[in-house]
Amino acid sequence: MRTLAFDGRMGASGDMVCAALVAAGAEPSVLEPVEEILDAHYRIGTTEKNGIAATTVDVLLDSEDRNQDEHGHDHSHDGHDHSHEEHSHEHSHGDHAHGDHDHAHGDHDHTHGDHSHDGHTHAEGAGPSRSYAEVVELVESMGLPAGVEADAKAIFEVLGRAEAAVHGTDLDETHFHEVGADDAIADVVGAALLLADLDVERVVTTPVATGGGEVGMSHGVYPIPAPAVVEVAERASWALRGGPVEAELLTPTGAAILAHFAEGVERLPTLDVDGVGYGAGDTNFPEHPNVLRALVGEEQGSLVPDEIRVLETTLDDATPELLGGLHERLKAAGARDVSVFPTTMKKSRPGHLVQVIVKPEDVERVARKLAVETGTLGVRETGARHRWIAERAFETVEIEIDGTAHEVTVKIASDTEGSVYDVSAEYDDAAAVAAETGLPIREIMRRAENVVRE
């Protein structure tokens, strides 16, 4: 499976996502539909962040920048550090949905105004302030491929719903400020176009760093992550992670792009990497390269990570009858699996170790049930936090015996690539058919499993 994996340890903004995709192999020419509609164009260059060569993507105003092109200005970023720390503007790492700041990725004075970028005017905040409906209408006017248009509109819906939740308004009443400006629209639509060009089947991201500290916005000073980022993250499958620097690292636009496209994973998947790129943020940090890394490659089949907790207790006075019914009662309380092992306790007394696998949200309920059912004075939570499980599917098959069809459910186990490595007929179904036909249970199971294998 061709997979794109983002390494979210330094957060993300819209321009960083675009830059990382270009660096990972996406063709910049696919961005032309955006340039034809907006009074702006993309400028792609290079910079260095803590020794790492990274790609930059800037959205520049046509009216100013191209006039300067005619006077011989070079637009290459080669040898250009691209740090905006000296500017008093909102170009750190955040594109805030409520006009609080845009492209914020570090500590900046969040005041607005034209951003002079080596003699070129940046499109940050340029263009009219648009409502959600106006942004959708503009996206629809670009003549994008259907899938790209759907993705771009979905990202703006994520932003709109986050904005509406923050301000207590309806989606249709939401009025964008910075994320309705030309550069933010260019970031969102550009990311959708570039990702489509990469033609990957799956997009994942590790936990995404937010940074820390506070950020000044039009409504006041807020803790990082900013309110809109939190609202977007609530709708995403990936996790937020604080740090590693005291600055804003994750912006609403970057978060919304990742929320729409990316599935959350705890660690990078196993990849045969054939493309890697680094998208640069603006601020320089002493110990951390301010880049978003993107890796593209063929993902090898694996099992699925499943977050769990493991509860244990030891019993020296449990009767066989109590232990025999413990599985059913604990599973009814939310346990995913229950195991009972013989063990030797103090003074060489025989006993039993009860081990229960539960989901994190069920720990307290199952621990109490375990204590009440067994009378144990304590339940331990062990160090295990994850298990790796198969993708599971169930298929009902028919087997014919003496001219009569009988149904048996078969459990099918596969990895993330869909490679089946085990089939197992359900015992209760096989037992029922065996009782009806007089054949051994294992023969019924064998026949049902063969139907799936064939």
The pLDDT of residue 393? 93
The residue assigned the tokens 């160090």 is 383
| Same-domain status, 219 and 321 | no
| Same-domain status, 36 and 137 | yes
| Same-domain status, 33 and 167 | yes
Among the candidates 338, 362, 388, a domain finishes at 388
Q: Is 263 exposed, middle or buried (0-12, 13-18, 19+ CB in 10 A)?
A: middle
How far, in Å, CA of 194 to CA of 18, rounded?
A: 7
Q: What is the CATH classification number for the domain harbouring 384? A: 3.30.70.1380
**Residues of the chain predicted below pLDDT 50:** 65-104, 106-119, 123, 125-126, 178, 180
The pLDDT of residue 413? 92
159 in a structural domain: yes
113 in a structural domain: no
| φ/ψ (deg, to 5) at 107 | -85, 110
105 in a structural domain: no
How far, in Å, CA of 394 to CA of 410, rounded?
A: 6
| Same-domain status, 255 and 178 | yes
| Same-domain status, 319 and 447 | no
36 in a structural domain: yes
Tell which phi-psi region holds residue 207, choosing left (phi > 0), alpha (psi between -120 and 50) or beta. beta
The pLDDT of residue 150? 96
Among the listed residues 299, 284, 269, 267, the one whose alpha carbon sits nearest the alpha carbon of residue 9: 267
Among the candidates 299, 324, 353, a domain finishes at 299
Q: What is the CATH classification number for the domain harbouring 419? A: 3.10.20.300
- What Å distances lie between residue 313 and 307, 325, 343, CA to CA? 21, 16, 11
Provide the 10 A C-beta neighbour count for residue 396.
11
| Same-domain status, 178 and 292 | yes
Asked whether the beta carbons of 338 and 330 are under 8 A apart, the reply is yes
Cis? peptide before 244, omega within 30° of 0 = yes
| Same-domain status, 235 and 338 | no
**pTM score:** 0.63
444 in a structural domain: yes
Owning domain of residue 440:
390-453
The pLDDT of residue 164? 84
Among the candidates 267, 299, 331, a domain finishes at 299
The residue assigned the tokens 């030309």 is 182
SS3 at position 188: helix
Q: Structural domain tally of the chain?
A: 3
| Same-domain status, 288 and 367 | no
84 in a structural domain: no
Among the listed residues 386, 394, 388, 427, the one whose alpha carbon sits nearest the alpha carbon of residue 413: 394
What's the token pair of residue 175? 């009025």
The pLDDT of residue 177? 53
How far, in Å, CA of 397 to CA of 417, rounded?
A: 23
Asked whether the beta carbons of 377 and 318 are under 8 A apart, the reply is no
pLDDT digits (tens, 9 = 90+) for 410-444: 999 998 778 888 999 999 999 999 999 999 999 99
The pLDDT of residue 113? 34
394 in a structural domain: yes
336 in a structural domain: yes
